[in-house]
A and B are shown apart, each in its own frame.
Chain A
Amino acid sequence: MSILVQFAIGLIFGLGLILAGMANPAKVLNFLDLAAIPAGRWDASLLFVMAGGIAVTMLGYRLAFARGRPLLAERFVLPSASRPDARLVTGAVLFGIGWGLAGFCPGPALVAALTGGLPALIFLAAMLAGMALARRLAAAGAIRPAEPRRTS
């Protein structure tokens, strides 16, 4: 049951990305190109993706949390680290450079696995390698006692 539900949620998420235009890197890059505003060539669509996504999630989370516990799990698992740190900012800077170079982020990269041909698969493979590397480094840092660090 839980497996089927998560498959269905993945499908809905993917449909949303496609309908929104987020699954198309050209659209993402044209949104990030603020210098195109004076020429009237800026594609502001992604602002509407964020607005729609946040409005529904903000309201829906409130209703979900009001139930006290999830339908198919023991508890709500929420990130516990609340204070921003240098690592968060470093990660976000690197993420942004990658996003601006290719126009893909992780969800759209998965949606493009069947539709984007070899270039999309190459991106996906590199992305997984980057994730594996970060996990390895983070794990190595966690057993080093020098610097206590809160993880989420």
Chain B
Amino acid sequence: MIETTFTPIASLAGGALIGLAAVMLMLFQGQIAGISGILSRLLPPQADGEAGGRLAFVAGLVLAPLIVYAAGSAWPVPQIAATVPVLVVAGLLIGFGSIWGNGCTSGHGICGLSRLSLRSLIAVATFMASAIATVFVTRHLL
């Protein structure tokens, strides 16, 4: 396992920025900031004419590291411990599960919980429990 340090202040501030983005998307566009929903609606079949805005939002996410780098911070390299086969299986599960369950960490975890949605509460409790169980099995049992 890769050691990481506890960063309560940065994480609280980062969470607040995520919240700001979610509020802005609702205030300006009237939309829930669910990444899986926005991203998947770029895949065929596209139901409406809003692909441009969705693509712009996704481009902002992809290009965000450039802002961090331009501001003088280190290039934010993610630490990925999983092997390629595990990444493929995990990617398929995340992609499928987020659409099947109508949302992911952002749509259910931030937007849904903020609206006190019962569906989102159940979704978040379920995927948290299943993720915690998965990490327990892979790190401590296998």
Are B7 and A45 within 8 A (Cβ)? yes
Interface residues, chain A, with chain B CB atoms under 8 Å away: 2-27, 29-30, 32-35, 41, 43-46, 48-58, 60-61, 63-65, 67, 69-79, 81-84, 87-116, 119-120, 122-135, 137-139, 152
Q: What are the residues of chain A within 8 A of B136 when measuring CB–CB? A: 33-35
Interface residues, chain B, with chain A CB atoms under 8 Å away: 1-8, 10-33, 35-36, 39-40, 43-45, 52-54, 56-68, 75-82, 84, 86-102, 104-106, 108-115, 117-119, 122-124, 126-136, 138-140
A interface, over-half SS = helix
Q: What are the residues of chain B within 8 A of A97 when measuring CB–CB? A: 90, 93, 97, 130-131, 134
Between A and B, 19 residue pairs with Cβ closer than 8 Å are A13-B57, A14-B65, A25-B80, A25-B82, A52-B14, A53-B109, A56-B15, A60-B19, A84-B123, A91-B97, A99-B90, A103-B82, A104-B94, A110-B61, A119-B80, A126-B88, A131-B98, A138-B100, A139-B45
Given contacts A21-B7, A122-B87, contact A91 B99 (CB under 8 A): yes
Given contacts A56-B19, A123-B91, A130-B93, contact A95 B98 (CB under 8 A): yes
State the total of A-B contacts with C-beta under 8 angstroms.
503
Report Cα–Cα, A9/B30, bound state, in Å.
13
B interface, over-half SS = helix
Given contacts A96-B127, A98-B91, contact A116 B6 (CB under 8 A): no
| Other-chain contact of B32, A5, A55, A77, A87 (Cβ < 8 Å) | A77
